[in-house]
Structure 1
C-alpha cells in the first residue's frame, strides 16, 4: 500500500488523498472519525446509519423474495407430486 504524505495547514487541516477517499467512499461534506490507536491517528468514515439501514432493507427484501420463490416451488411440487404420504398438518 503506497504511503500518502500531506502537509498539515496552519489550522490543522489535512486533505485526504483522492485515491483513499474514492476507495473508502468518502465524499465532500461527509464526517470522518479520528481515533488514536497505538500512538497513531486513524481516520475512518463513521458507520453511516442510513447506509447500514439500506443494507438491512435489501437483505429483508431478498429474504421475502426467497420465501416467495420457495412457496411457489412448494406449491408446484405439491401440484405435480401431491401431498407427501403420511403428512398431516
Structure 2
C-alpha cells in the first residue's frame, strides 16, 4: 500500500498524486466517487461504461492478435514437421 499526504485547500480541494492518477487512469475532468467506510474515506476512480467497453475492446483485439500469432506458429510447425498423425485408428 502506497501512502501519500496532501494538504486540503481552503475550499476542500486535494490534488490526487500523479502516480496514482496514472495507475488508475484518472484524467482531468473525470468524476471520482467518495465513499465513507467506517473511519476512512475512499476515492474511487471513474468506471463509466465507455471506459469498460474500451478495456474490453482492447482485450478482444489482443486476443485476435494472439490467435493470429498461434495460427502462424502452427502453420510453421506443420511446414517443418508435417501434418499430425491420425490418431483415430
Q: TM-score scaled by structure 1?
A: 0.69
Output the CA distance in 2 between the equivalents of 1:31 and 1:78: 53
Q: Report the RMSD for the aligned CA atoms in angstroms.
A: 2.2
Gapped regions of structure 2 (runs ≥ 5): none
- Return the offset for 1:6: 0.9
Correspondence list, 1:62-81, <5 A: 62-81=62-81
Contact 1:33 1:46 in 2 (8 A): yes
Taking a change above 3 Å as real, the CA distance of residues 76 and 26 of structure 1, as seen in their structure-2 partners, is: closer
Structure (1 or 2) with the larger CA radius of gyration: 1
Structure 1: distance between partners of 2:56 and 2:76: 30
Aligned length: 82
Structure 1 residue runs of 5 or longer lacking an equivalent are none
